[in-house]
Amino acid sequence: MRSQICDKSAFLVEYKFLIASSRLCSSTTPQVPMLSFARFLVFSTLAISVAECGLVFPAFQGIPASGADPYDFNGTTTNSNVIVSTAKQVNQKSGATTDAAPDLPVLNTTITAIDGEVVNATVPLSRRSLSADAKSKLSRRNNSNYEMVFWGTGTESEDRDASIEGTFYLTYSLVDNSTYSIDQCLDYCDSIPECVFVNLYYEFNNELLDHIFSQHSNLKCVAYGDVHSAQEKTNFGGQSLSGNPNGPLTYIQQSSGWSSKALCDPSPPDGYDPVGDLDGANEAPGYMGFVFLDQYDVNACAATCNNRDPDPVGGSCKYFNIWRAVVDGVPTTYTCSMYYIPAPASTATNFGQGDLAVTWSRGYSRKTLVIDGGFEGYTCDDLPSDFCLTTATSTWNGSSPDGGYYDATIFHFGQYAHSGLSVALLGSAYGSDDLPGTLTYTSAFATSLGVTYTVEFFHSSVYSGEDGEVNAFVEVFWNGQLVGTIHPGYSEWTYYKFLVIAQGNEGVLKFTGGAAPSYDFIDDVYVMQA
């Protein structure tokens, strides 16, 4: 590893003269300085001299002083085996218990497993929303827009039945029991955005229903966010609620199930674009793990993705795949798989394993306000080379202070990049000065007032070795305000994130840093809603 930086004082005057001469011939966005052949030979000799002293400046295609292996962005793929085995351990089935009060609000979504470990935690920042189109589909208001899934056993004295115990239980209400009030129950389902199925049944010998709750009805209308079948009628009652252990036991009659004929597509979560309905679950690189949710809740999955710890190689979660696991024909759980690389629909190739089938699979990509945050839009198309540099692209602009030259540049050279083939550099690319450069995103972002955004990027400062990179630094500015500073010294590619709050409907992002021979490389810049 190169750690010693040579004394440039002996040739710095001639070097700066050559640099100044090259400016007269360079274009607005030069690839490399244009020199006469004679001066190019002198410049080449200078480069060799620098190399002999221990450092070739980035503009001369030097090699970073790092022995680290290239980053493997395809090293992690979906661990379907763990997901399947965990799905057979959890029990997310529930219903209206005998002692629960009616008309309780729908509970927040709960995580039931994380990366194979069964847990019980409420998802942070879970928000539910429906699009105007989805809301319009809720105006069913008569049972012609529902279909009967199963019918009950009757109400004769010896008839016995069972209620549903299934996934995605929402809440329940009591409807008029002077008749078997199907329409009232379906109207109740209409009033709950998540409801797609109801289980209507009589529950006898429940003192709370008969005497305590104000409705004085024993006809329960139980709402679910998933469609269930008669094979899930597993609650036969059998509890004694009178206070007398030898008292009458509860029992159930006329348990029927009704499902909406058309299921509404969920609205995309804030900050995400839908990939759409998928044929199966994603089997894709950039996998960050999974959670099980007790409800099919895309907003909860998005919140989990947003709060997932960043991957040291790929950074934050930028895509999630939510799908329903059906085991032996019965809905079992809802998987939220997370990725730091947005997965294309072509990777949705997992249709299930054994008795587990993948259903209701959807994908959502996290929006970034940055176009070309990986600088891949810059290439050497007009040169027969895989190495070139510039101070400006269509989306980024590099500038130098007075007396500086090429202090903020964009390179097309895979050995400098964190991912892909291009990267930004702060610090004089030709080593002509030790002044900081400024890299500015050329367009203002359309942001929402008061909304929190994350500014994140990967940074490396290994180019000049441990001694040469001692003064490496980067300052991050948002709307002209300093929001973060790093002094990493000698550092391999590292993920950084800063939170900013939008003060208006536009935001401006820029990075300042570098002090050659301390060089700061920046790659994979994102600005996303937190």
Task: Give the pLDDT band (50/70/90) at residue 334.
Answer: very high
Domain end (from 240, 260, 280):
260
Only one residue has tokens 């587990």, namely 356
Residue 416 identity: Y
The reported pLDDT for the residue numbered 68 is 78
The reported pLDDT for the residue numbered 16 is 40
Task: Give the pLDDT band (50/70/90) at residue 316.
Answer: very high
Task: For residue 392, give the CATH number of its domain.
Answer: 2.60.120.260
In terms of Cα–Cα distance, which of 306, 282, 326, 265 is closest to 123? Answer: 306
* Entry pTM: 0.85
Quick check: helix, strand or coil at residue 133?
helix
Residue 97 lies in a domain: no
CA-CA distances (angstroms) from residue 407 to 20, 168, 234, 462, 511?
Answer: 14, 57, 71, 17, 12
Residue 12 has pLDDT above 60, yes or no: no
DSSP 100: P
Quick check: helix, strand or coil at residue 34?
coil
The reported pLDDT for the residue numbered 384 is 65
Sign of torsion over alpha carbons 19, 23, 28, 30: negative
Find the angle CA(479)-CA(481)-CA(485) to the nearest 5 degrees: 120
* 381 or 28, which is more confident: 381
Pair (43, 145) in one structural domain:
no
Enclosing H/E stretch for 189: helix 182-190
Pair (433, 507) in one structural domain:
yes
Distance separating alpha carbons of residues 529 and 323, to the nearest angstrom: 24
Pair (322, 382) in one structural domain:
no
Residue 360 lies in a domain: yes
Domain end (from 197, 230, 260):
260
Enclosing H/E stretch for 112: strand 110-114
Q: How many helices (H) and strands (E) are present in the chain, helices listed first?
A: 8, 28
The reported pLDDT for the residue numbered 298 is 96
Task: Give the pLDDT band (50/70/90) at residue 480.
Answer: very high
Question: pLDDT tens for residues 403-459?
Answer: 999 999 999 999 999 999 999 999 999 999 999 999 999 999 999 999 999 999 999
Structure tokens at 104: 């309780």
Residue 292 lies in a domain: yes
Residue 392 lies in a domain: yes
Q: For residue 285, is the peptide bond before it cis, meaning its omega torsion is within 30 degrees of 0? A: no
Sign of torsion over alpha carbons 474, 476, 482, 484: negative
Q: Ramachandran region of residue 35, left (φ > 0), alpha (ψ -120 to 50) or beta?
A: beta
Residue 478 has pLDDT above 80, yes or no: yes
Structure tokens at 122: 């409420």
Residue 249 lies in a domain: yes
DSSP 54: T
Pair (378, 353) in one structural domain:
no
Sign of torsion over alpha carbons 98, 99, 100, 101: positive
201 phi and psi angles, rounded to 5 deg: -160, 160
Quick check: helix, strand or coil at residue 362?
strand
Pair (170, 310) in one structural domain:
no
The reported pLDDT for the residue numbered 7 is 39
Pair (159, 307) in one structural domain:
no
How many domains does the chain divide into?
Answer: 3
Q: Ramachandran region of residue 232, left (φ > 0), alpha (ψ -120 to 50) or beta?
A: alpha
Pair (291, 326) in one structural domain:
yes
Q: For residue 517, is the peptide bond before it cis, meaning its omega torsion is within 30 degrees of 0? A: yes
Residue 20 has pLDDT above 70, yes or no: no
Only one residue has tokens 């007398």, namely 244
Enclosing H/E stretch for 190: helix 182-190
Pair (250, 275) in one structural domain:
no
In terms of Cα–Cα distance, which of 437, 430, 442 is closest to 392? Answer: 442
Pair (338, 389) in one structural domain:
no
The stretches of 247-396 forming alpha helices (DSSP H) are 298-307
Structure tokens at 341: 């690389």
Quick check: helix, strand or coil at residue 438?
strand
Residue 330 lies in a domain: yes
* 81 or 73, which is more confident: 81
Residues in the chain: 530
3-state helix, strand, coil in the chain (%, to 5): 15, 35, 50
Distance separating alpha carbons of residues 269 and 78, to the nearest angstrom: 23
Residue 49 has pLDDT above 70, yes or no: no
Is 425 exposed, middle or buried, given 0-12, 13-18 or 19+ CB atoms closer than 10 A? buried
Residue 419 lies in a domain: yes
In terms of Cα–Cα distance, which of 431, 413, 430 is closest to 422? Answer: 413
Pair (512, 393) in one structural domain:
yes
Residue 214 identity: S
Distance separating alpha carbons of residues 206 and 99, to the nearest angstrom: 9
Whether 203 contacts 218, CB under 8 Å: yes
Domain end (from 260, 286, 303):
260
Sign of torsion over alpha carbons 27, 404, 410, 271: negative
- Once rounded to an integer, what is the mean pLDDT over residues 353-362? 95
Distance separating alpha carbons of residues 134 and 136, to the nearest angstrom: 5
CA-CA distances (angstroms) from residue 12 to 21, 199, 432, 515?
Answer: 14, 84, 8, 16
| Distance from the Cα of residue 113 to its chain's centroid | 18
Average pLDDT in the chain? 87
Residue 520 lies in a domain: yes
Question: pLDDT tens for residues 188-226?
Answer: 999 999 999 999 999 999 989 988 999 999 999 999 999
Distance separating alpha carbons of residues 6 and 53, to the nearest angstrom: 5
The reported pLDDT for the residue numbered 30 is 40
In terms of Cα–Cα distance, which of 324, 326, 319 is closest to 334? Answer: 324
Task: Give the pLDDT band (50/70/90) at residue 83.
Answer: very high
The reported pLDDT for the residue numbered 28 is 34
Q: Which domain holds residue 249?
A: 131-260
Pair (308, 361) in one structural domain:
yes
Pair (418, 356) in one structural domain:
no
